[in-house]
Chain A
Amino acid sequence: MNLFNEAFLLVTSYHLCIFTPWTQSADVKYSAGWSLTVLTALNIIVNLVPLWF
């Protein structure tokens, strides 16, 4: 689980690169924002699952 969380953080930190001025398109940034939102929701769900079972 800890490795999963760290891997998720790594993906999160790669998303941050998209949010820098290196990426010019606001649409790409916004889409990356949704991608990060979905990933964060997934991470929260995966972390909650062991509490239920």
Chain B
Amino acid sequence: MAHSALNNISIPGNVAFLYSYLLNIAAFDVLPTDDIFDWFFEFKSSEPVTEKFGALGYETKYFVKNMGTVFIVGVIFVILLVLTLFLHVLNKIVNISVTEKVANWMYRMVCWNPILRLLIESYIFIALSCCINLTEFTFGDSGSRASSISTVVGLILIILLPFFVLYFMHKKFAKLKNKQVKSKFGAMYEGLDLDKGRSVILVRLFYFGRRLMISFTVTYLRDYPVFQIFSMNFQVLAAIILHGLINPHLTR
């Protein structure tokens, strides 16, 4: 919703003001990330893609800065993943019950569901930050190096995630209601009514496709606002038709 204000049309001040707050809430940007990033990286000054992007929180072209708190959470997840892997290796070498318990607890806390939830919920922010960074893909200073490398990783993630979801849900559809599968991969099909059949997979794919489309249109079709608006209209109409045809959600 808030991303609709990124289309290249003159949004009145009252809407821009409200949507900039909404974007901050939707992006979970609660930490003073600019100061934190400045400790680790050196950033050259960078202009936003358009003034509107700047007003709505995408103040630079750097992936790292635009992602904000979500980037820090992502890095923490990567550190925890490495730690979990290290604990599993340690457990195999020393084989003490304490390390086994800690390793299993870490695996449950970090692997699969939390990572999938983070990726799914922040999919649009990763996609949009990647699109923005690709408009100025440089390796000059440490900040742009970190941003460009993160962009490549982000692009790989956002392209692979829909294929992974499609493959996993299609292959394991009969087992998706299983408690063990749900506790590991439930975030992938949370809220979807699996009794509606495999067509619910389409809804999840549409979720990803729509966010990719929004990211692409607001960044690269900014010289063609008419296409941006029509693209958004068609996406919403397609979503309404899809919901009407499948009625995929558990709660009404």
Contacts and interface: CB of A to CB of B under 8 A. Distances in A.
Contacts, number: 65
Given A13-B233, A16-B9, A16-B229, A37 B15 contact: yes
A7 interface: yes
B226 interface: yes
B68 to A, nearest CB: 22
Interface in A1-35: 1-3, 6-10, 12-14, 16-17, 19-21, 29-30, 32-34
**Chain B: number of interface residues, binned into ranges:** 20 to 34
A43 B18 CA distance: 13
Nearest to B249: A2
B14 A29 contact: no
Given A16-B229, A30-B14, A10 B237 contact: yes
Given A10-B236, A16-B229, 14 more contacts: A2-B243, A2-B249, A6-B240, A7-B240, A9-B4, A9-B239, A13-B4, A16-B9, A20-B9, A20-B226, A30-B14, A33-B12, A33-B15, A40-B22
12 contacts: A1-B249, A2-B249, A3-B243, A6-B239, A10-B237, A10-B240, A13-B233, A13-B236, A33-B13, A36-B15, A37-B14, A40-B19
Interface of A: 1-3, 6-10, 12-14, 16-17, 19-21, 29-30, 32-34, 36-37, 40, 43
Interface of B: 1, 4, 7, 9-15, 18-19, 22, 225-226, 229, 232-233, 236-237, 239-240, 243-244, 249, 251-252
